[in-house]
A and B are shown apart, each in its own frame.
Chain A
């Protein structure tokens, strides 16, 4: 029992330590570009968070792509997840397999093949190809989460709606969708999270576009400015906020 508690705290420490370091160094009063030794506490980086134009631009591009791929993967993944959970159709087994295949295939391979595909199709690389790539690998995650929820959904609820005169369309929007909404929501958050910090696939499909992770990768060679820590902290806080709101609402349900 004591051992179990110690173990739990060890895991918690392991999980939070990098985040604590990230947050702390956002408050570091570092004089130069090297943000690696503690030089005292300051809030000035929060005031100058958007001082580096190309970093700010990279962040906005990343947010835009993450938002777009979250919405697209959300819509498409929900459709697939619902179909897979509700109906058995020709090829549904294959689609199911494909979902897990895309989730487990190595990012490097996926990125390289996407690059080949885009180049041979003559598509110019940029935010659009990045988004297409992100949607591609996020769909499976949304679909799997939604499918799991649909499978636990009592079939008779949809039958009851049909029985009361609701067309399949109305049944979906009035009964099915509200009930699978939490799953759709977590699937979409997952898609957002996967997109905002993706490096490997993005690197292959970006062309000259610089996203937040790509900028950081480029900057590490000359030293990371504290603004990166500040932005990381802010993104982390938004994530925590969403998680808290989600669990509070779930508890109230």
Chain B
């Protein structure tokens, strides 16, 4: 990791709402590296926007320190901070043209006229808005407005760009197109991005690292793969993608692999250091589980049998819901790569297997 572009140390934020104190953000420690694409992900009201606004300077933290490039900026007014924000509502100036919107920041910095013209022109090219410079915001489509907002921020070459759900208002197709575009622009200009979203798919595909937030605190922080493959809490497992959670007690430990049993031949294997007798919650992703109607021969695997409750065809995959002895129904995704027909139908008896490394013990929270 390179030099830290943004650092939050013990930052918290309280709001007074009708005399009551609301903890919007609690003791947040966070470091975003130079040039990193960093995402804040979490459910509505978990404090993503508040965190972002504290970095931009619109909200003063109740406690803690905000540093930009190593410099303490706590208490510094927003217009004196070298970060730019793309607002969820775009906040384009309705009385100015696209060109004037993009030029606004450079004019404030008293950049020379010719230089402004050159840089704004380049920026409009980068966001594919060539020739739209004389349009007023209301004469642009949602996606075009979004790109003007992006250009308006990027043209200032800020240390970091803060994006608060910038794609929230766009339809799916445009959204995907803009995701690719954003990623390309970020790579081209090499600016640090802090990206707020509550779309987990978006966070997974675009980010270098993700912080999953819950109720004002970071629940897990790491690269997308780690967040997805190894969720550390039940909340993260449930929030990112679909997860099966299996409860059980460690019966014995063989070679660093705990065995949880649910009847004859019914077992779940979990790599863990937990001792025998410990209660565990185990997470398994639905696509890791193999489903078949024949009794599998494998030995070093987790094995559960059950009855299919539900089959849902999803195009690229088919989802099965299976009732087993291990507690709540398990969900299994089967890629429709080869199978012309469903592996099983409702009421069929099936066997589920998956290798031990796909089971993770998760913390209780």
A contacts, CB < 8 Å to B: 154, 156-157, 159-168, 170-171, 174-175, 178-179
Contact = CB atoms under 8 A, between A and B. Distances in A.
B156 interface: yes
- The secondary-structure label for the interface of chain A is helix
Given A156-B87, A159-B58, A170-B108, A164 B156 contact: yes
B93 A163 contact: no
B343 interface: no
Contact of A163 (B84, B89, B95): B84
Contacts of A170: 108
Given A160-B85, A162-B79, A164-B153, 6 more contacts: A157-B93, A160-B87, A160-B152, A164-B108, A166-B108, A168-B79
Contacts of B58: 159, 162-163
Contacts of A178: 95
B105 A157 contact: no
Contacts of B91: 154, 156-157, 159-160
Contacts of A168: 79
Interface residues of B, number: 24
Given A154-B89, A159-B58, A160-B87, A165 B109 contact: yes
B104 interface: yes
Nearest to B80: A165
B289 interface: no
Closest 7 pairs between A and B when the two form their complex, measured CB to CB = A164-B105, A165-B108, A160-B91, A156-B91, A162-B78, A162-B79, A178-B95
Interface of B: 56-58, 77-80, 83-85, 87, 89, 91-95, 104-105, 108-109, 152-153, 156
A154 B90 CA distance: 11
Contacts of B80: 165
Contact of A164 (B57, B89, B95, B104): B104
A163 B94 contact: no
Contacts of B152: 160, 164
27 contacts: A156-B87, A156-B89, A156-B91, A157-B93, A159-B85, A159-B91, A160-B87, A160-B92, A160-B152, A161-B104, A162-B58, A163-B58, A163-B84, A163-B85, A164-B79, A164-B105, A164-B108, A164-B152, A164-B156, A165-B80, A165-B108, A165-B109, A166-B108, A168-B79, A174-B104, A175-B93, A178-B95
Contacts of B84: 163-164
A171 B78 CA distance: 12
Given A154-B89, A154-B91, A156-B91, A162 B77 contact: yes
A152 to B, nearest CB: 12
Nearest to B85: A163
